[in-house]
Chains A and B, each alone.
Chain A
Amino acid sequence: MKLGDRPLANPDVVLREEYDDWAVLFDPETANAVGINPVGVFIWRLLDGRNSVEQIAARVADGFDEVPGSAPEEVRAFVERLAAGGFVGFAATGATP
């Protein structure tokens, strides 16, 4: 079994929506917290182990106006930052989500 490309939100992490559509991801295990904007919230909700990063980027392109061409790279970088902070893992290839 190897790690795949389908990011999966850490189930312990709390998505706390604040005002003006901004939000905080809070990991009670580590006390780490990160602020995310509305696009980040949109992405977070797609981190279910079923969607690949490319599929998530495509959903972002469909869901928002004036999405730049660099969006796929930016989505990947965002997911990788979350993974480095322990907020996200990657579903194992072949595993049933």
Chain B
Amino acid sequence: MTLLMMELLSGALFAIGLYGVLARRNAVLVLMAIELMLNAVNINLIGYAAFLDPGRVLGQVLAIFVITIAAAEAGLALAIILRVYRNRGTVNVDEINLMKW
């Protein structure tokens, strides 16, 4: 196992997550895809921490912050999705176009 492998894994997972964000209609699925992207970032950070950082902890600290933000984001996103569903009866992102011209 080398650094490059982890890097490529993280890149691939990021691309998969991005595809999910762009292609999915259901807001919950979009949320899941975002979690995938965050995980891809975490893999990358852990990889650099394990292979490059002299103290070996910097990437891990950052990963902890990412996980914290991810948790906050998931909670907020759930609340917003519930709200949207109550008001509009749907969670499909392409039916929520109030910001249209």
A, B bound:
no
Q: Which residues of B contact A (CB under 8 A)?
A: none
Q: Which residues of A contact B (CB under 8 A)?
A: none
